[in-house]
Amino acid sequence: MAARILPKFQFDGARRDFRMSRARFLAAVFLVLLISGPASAQRGGEFDSLVAKMNGAAQAGRWVEGLAAAQRLEALVRRRQGTDNMNYAGVLHNEGMCLHNLGRFAEAVDKLNAALSIKLRNDDVASTLRTSNILVGSLGMLGRRAEATTVSERALALGTNAFGANDVRLSDTLAALGGLSRDKENFQEAAGYFERALASLQAANASPLDIASAMDNLGDVYGLLGRFDDGERLLKQGLDLLDLNFRGNAEAAPNYDKMLNDLGNLHLDAGRLAEAEAVMRRSLAITRARSGEGEPNLAAIMGNLATVLEHEARYAEAEKLYQQTLQAYEKIYGPNHPTTAIGLNNLANVYSAQGKNEAAAGLQERVLAIYEKAFGANSPEVGRALNNLANSYASLGRNAQAIELYRRSLAVMEHKFGEGSGPTALAAGSLGQALMDAGQMDEARQYLLRCLEIDERALGTTHPHLVKDLRSVALLDLKAGNTADARGRLDRALAIAQDRLGPAHHDTIATLINLADVDRRDGKWPDALARLRLAAAALGAQRTTQFTRFTEIDPWLIDTIWHVTGGKPDNAARDEAFGATQLAHETKAGAALAQMAARFGAGNDAIAGLVRKQQDLKAGLEALDKRVTSELGQADGKRNDALIANLRAQMTQTQKSLDDVSAQLDRGFPAYAELSNPRPMSIAQAQGLLRPDEALVAFIALGEKSYAFAVTREASALHQIALGSHEISDRVAHLRLGLVNPQAEQASFDLDASFELYIALFGPVAADIAGKPKLLIVPAGALTSLPFHVLVTKKPDPALALADRYRQAAWLLNERAITVLPSVPSLRALRGFAKESRAQKPFIGFGDPVLQRSLADKRPGRNVQPYQSYYDGTTVDLERLRSGLPALPETAGELQAVARALGASPQEDVKLGPAATVTNVNTLPLDHYRVVDFATHGLVAGEVNGLSEPALVLTLPDRPTSEDDGLLTASRIAKLKLDADWAVLSACNTAAGDRPGAEGLSGLARAFFYAGARALLVSHWPVDSEAAVRLTTGAFSEVTAHPGIGRAEALRRAMKALIADRSSPRNADPAVWAPFVLVGEGGS
């Protein structure tokens, strides 16, 4: 029986993404008969029984059982005949077969080498070829390709000399050589070997199983050559052949599941994702039914199916399957095996797709360590691992390190495969892309053109890999201002993508967007709009709760609509632009509000409880996943396998609970999916949610020009803003210089710059929002870090003293009460579904935590430090916190004053000092309180292995535990159950993003929305304690005295009162009165 060539160890063709997406699928290999020579005379009941058991187990894929029988046969033959005869070679061969199919490749190599030595001495060419071909497969699985090539070439020479060049007995050797060429990504050479093998089998009228296997090999490599139709035809012919010869029971045929798997991979490469998923699922079901759990091929198919789901942007499902695949590999091969590294790599890739770049980098570092130990520093596997780790570093902004790794990867590929090879092209393209991102254009062009030229020569002029190659060079052309060359390359790329990949493939969408950019630069606005609409339509079916990778499409669509309509869009064009505005503002804070709305929109407490339970289980599953990922990334000797097993058991139980709750929700609350992931609203829908005295203004920031969308109950308008995103960022940074230090002796806020920014931002919409005293603002880009009430609506009087200039300035807050919304759809979440608080108690506050600092260093004022300042590897260093943070005695009076203003007890409802603990926060019924206030330090998130998160500092315990280490982290906040009209976070910087470039609201703010707060009072810089008391008590007093004015108006009045107070000249300084912004529901 012919041996089946092992499938490829294949890497995706993306230039920046060497993807180790396909583990070797173990094709079934079979046993040799033990009936030759003297053995036949010694056959008897035991011998025949063992042979029958071995063959039966092999045919059923029960390889453990087959190995046991083969091992007993070896002992029997050794006892009766000795070890230097062809029958002993036969039993060694059979043991090697079983070990190979069990994935125990090193043991298989030992047995097969021993068998081969005997066969070579006995000059049995046909038998030598059989063993050689299986040995090649096992060596390949171990990465020992040089040895595998030597064995194959020797076998081909022996067979050719003995039987002739076209004899069918050479077919498996030709297939083995084809597999080696495929592993080197020399697909043309591989196709040549596979074509010869298929032709010899067909000419000899070989068995259908052998011909089908040869069709599988050739069809698979045709797919890698981009010959998708030819590959699909051959694979389906092979499947049909098995169907015909197994009389409708082809699923029982060996390798039928492998052929389906390869057909699924071809569909994936061709961008036919639905077909790929269907075929992969069928292959998975066949393999599971045949072999059960824990079989190597089952793990390989799960990984391939996960890759399909990842390409469909179904990241949560893909991640779950990748986790299962990794666990299977670890169980089969152990934690440090190269195949296990494939599982780690794939998990890292799906983390990267979700923006979990620190976690991805940790896993990629582990992959590199495994490959270096297994294959050596200059192996192809290490070259690919270097590239993938560089990708993670680049995503983290560690560009210099990334470029260094890309160069090392390229050097390895050139040395191992040659300067004109496919792997070298991939590595050169990755390096070129990184250099382009770093602004090193000349060197980038050298490598990107080299990549394109190699692929054209090796793959032909219409291969799908060329789409990325052409796009990369075109982007260089665009950066150089050469739109003509860029257009030519992109036109060619689009033609290939549409023909070979289809309209919904992400490469097709990306090319459409690139061409739209060229059209925009050339002033061909209608053409640009047509392309962007095609891309948006293709993306529409793919958008999920994960944010799209094509972040530029929505702002560009708005900009293009503006130009096509000459700045006067009609109703339909405005609605289209409004939808794009909402998609451009998709944020995690908006998603958190949608989740809160879904709970409140459930209609009854039981369903709302199920929704909350589902959301909490998802959060818990993610937290467990982070811990597992951290352990998986540990180096040898530091990895805690017992902890990993325990965490995975918890994940399994949590997933089961999540599945049960989700099923109950599907039955009891079918509208949940729409509520938790809402579609964009039309202008009319938004107008229906606005009140007569309100105007909604949403900003969209682009490179050279920006836009503002103004919507009131009566009208809507889209306006262009003369400032681009970079200029807005510079102006905001300049204004913040005069705001972020309320303790400064000399005020320095630039009123003139404030007025200029107001004119730029609000001048275009002034007529649209006239007569609307309440503004609901959706900021974008750098505007998320600026409180809009510090803008000045009239030019300041330069003759006035600075204090008087501040006090008499025409602040925007003089005219408008301002609310910030994280997204436009959050308006629907807050007003369409969220209900009024049913909490009966007015207030609870936490502050003045015990930090155990020396009396000599009790500096007033809340502080903020990067989390990593207090992080020591895996735990928070409490001593650093105690020595680094000042005490906050003034917050006690602040909270007590607020409590009195709201009619709460300053003693019972204010938790200070020893009572301001994480334990109390977790155990008190916070959903009984309408206002929840935290007056303490804030820690912004650092970047420590992806685990750190923002936190509020509460009392630091003498003996920290996993439940209470003194830090109320965002994940702990998200587990709270609130029913609060207000959550007040007067720690520093609770409004801004966690790090430069992050989205506008911090993780703390998002967590409070998720927990159930309808409005947040958050700060943009360190809060002056006295001002914090005045502002918060003033706002709450206004709400109490005038319940109908709304939260935003109450805050406006409190700020105006502080500005007007002449008891201190500093009161009029915006650094003192302006840190707070209201986010969420600003109405009553």
One DSSP character per residue, 371-389 reads HHHHH-TTSHHHHHHHHHH
The band of 946, judged by pLDDT with boundaries at 50, 70 and 90, is: very low
Task: Concatenate the DSSP letters of all residues of 1051-1077 into one string.
Answer: HHHHHHHHHH-TTSGGGGSHHHH--EE
Mean pLDDT to the nearest integer, 959-974: 83
- The torsion angles phi and psi of 352, rounded to 5 degrees, stand at -60, -40
Specify the 3-state DSSP secondary structure of 617: helix
Mean pLDDT to the nearest integer, 618-637: 70
Buried b (16+ CB within 10 A) or exposed e, 393-431: bbbbebbeebbebbbbbbebbbebbeeebbbbbbbbbbb
Mean pLDDT to the nearest integer, 1046-1064: 94
Mean pLDDT to the nearest integer, 913-918: 95
- Which amino acid would we find at residue 712? T
- Nearest by Cα to 218 from 197, 201, 200: 197
In the CATH scheme, what is the homologous superfamily, with its name and number, of domain 10-26+103-343?
Tetratricopeptide repeat domain (1.25.40.10)
SS3 percent helix, strand, coil of the chain, rounded to 5, is: 60, 10, 30
Residue given tokens 């998002």 in the structure block: 1006
The band of 675, judged by pLDDT with boundaries at 50, 70 and 90, is: low
The band of 338, judged by pLDDT with boundaries at 50, 70 and 90, is: confident
Mean pLDDT to the nearest integer, 474-494: 96
Among the residue ranges 476-485, 783-792, 796-805, the one predicted with the least confidence is 796-805
pLDDT tens-place string over residues 192-225: 999 999 999 999 999 998 999 999 999 999 988 8
- The 3-class secondary structure across 985-1036, one letter per residue, is ECCCCCCCCCCCCCCCCCHHHHHHHHHCECEEEEECCCCCHHHHHHHHHHHH
Query: How far apart are the C-alpha atoms of 960 and 875, rounded to whole Å?
Result: 10
Residue 34 scores a pLDDT above 50: no
Predicted local confidence at residue 1028, as pLDDT: 86
The alpha helices in 697-812, defined as continuous H runs, are: 725-737, 751-762, 766-769, 802-808
Buried b (16+ CB within 10 A) or exposed e, 301-313: bbbbbbbbbbbbb
Query: How far apart are the C-alpha atoms of 632 and 948, rounded to whole Å?
Result: 17
Choice between 85 and 404, residue whose per-residue pLDDT is larger:
404
Mean pLDDT to the nearest integer, 467-485: 95
Distant-in-sequence, close-in-space partners of 695: CB < 8 Å, separation ≥ 6: 710, 711, 712, 768, 769, 772, 774, 775, 776
Residue given tokens 């996993």 in the structure block: 962
* CA-angle at 192, arms to 188 and 197, nearest 5°: 145
CATH of domain 683-820: 3.30.420
- The torsion angles phi and psi of 798, rounded to 5 degrees, stand at -70, -15
Residue 999 scores a pLDDT above 50: no
Distant-in-sequence, close-in-space partners of 519: CB < 8 Å, separation ≥ 6: 525, 527, 528, 531
Residue 524 scores a pLDDT above 90: yes
Query: How far apart are the C-alpha atoms of 24 and 989, rounded to whole Å?
Result: 50
Mean pLDDT to the nearest integer, 1038-1050: 90
Predicted local confidence at residue 545, as pLDDT: 37
The band of 273, judged by pLDDT with boundaries at 50, 70 and 90, is: confident
Predicted local confidence at residue 637, as pLDDT: 67
Query: How far apart are the C-alpha atoms of 15 and 851, rounded to whole Å?
Result: 51
Residue 742 scores a pLDDT above 70: no
Cβ pair 1038, 772 in contact under 8 A? no
Residue given tokens 């390869």 in the structure block: 262
Query: How far apart are the C-alpha atoms of 643 and 874, rounded to whole Å?
Result: 14
Choice between 880 and 542, residue whose per-residue pLDDT is larger:
880
Residue 359 scores a pLDDT above 70: yes
Mean pLDDT to the nearest integer, 249-265: 87
Mean pLDDT to the nearest integer, 933-948: 60
- Nearest by Cα to 364 from 416, 401, 324: 401
Which range, 492-501, 658-667, 709-718, has the best average confidence (pLDDT)?
709-718
CA-derived radius of gyration, the chain: 34
Predicted local confidence at residue 945, as pLDDT: 32
Query: How far apart are the C-alpha atoms of 608 and 466, rounded to whole Å?
Result: 51
Predicted local confidence at residue 764, as pLDDT: 97
Choice between 1064 and 629, residue whose per-residue pLDDT is larger:
1064
Angle between helices 256-269 and 273-291 (to 10 degrees): 160
Mean pLDDT to the nearest integer, 588-598: 53
Cβ pair 745, 782 in contact under 8 A? no
Among the residue ranges 234-238, 455-459, 538-542, the one predicted with the least confidence is 538-542
Average pLDDT over the chain, rounded to an integer: 83
Residue given tokens 């301001």 in the structure block: 916
**pTM across the whole model:** 0.75
Distant-in-sequence, close-in-space partners of 359: CB < 8 Å, separation ≥ 6: 348, 351, 626, 629, 630, 633, 945, 946
pLDDT tens-place string over residues 1012-1025: 888 889 888 877 77
CA end-to-end span of the chain, whole Å? 81
Query: How far apart are the C-alpha atoms of 1027 and 1075, rounded to whole Å?
Result: 10
Among the residue ranges 134-143, 638-647, 940-949, the one predicted with the least confidence is 940-949
pLDDT tens-place string over residues 56-108: 887 776 778 889 988 998 998 898 888 888 889 988 998 998 888 887 888 99
Cβ pair 834, 1014 in contact under 8 A? yes
Cβ pair 363, 385 in contact under 8 A? no
| Integer CA distances (angstroms), 346 to 174, 315, 343, 367, in order | 31, 12, 5, 10
The band of 747, judged by pLDDT with boundaries at 50, 70 and 90, is: low
Residue 817 scores a pLDDT above 60: yes
The band of 182, judged by pLDDT with boundaries at 50, 70 and 90, is: confident
Query: How far apart are the C-alpha atoms of 1031 and 1025, rounded to whole Å?
Result: 10
What percentage of the chain reaches a pLDDT higher than 70? Answer: 84
Predicted local confidence at residue 543, as pLDDT: 52
Among the residue ranges 134-138, 518-522, 608-612, 649-653, the one predicted with the least confidence is 608-612
- Which amino acid would we find at residue 426? L
Mean pLDDT to the nearest integer, 357-380: 90
Query: How far apart are the C-alpha atoms of 436 and 407, rounded to whole Å?
Result: 14
961 CB neighbour count, 10 Å cutoff: 9
Predicted local confidence at residue 673, as pLDDT: 53
The band of 853, judged by pLDDT with boundaries at 50, 70 and 90, is: very low
Query: How far apart are the C-alpha atoms of 350 and 356, rounded to whole Å?
Result: 9
Choice between 527 and 870, residue whose per-residue pLDDT is larger:
527
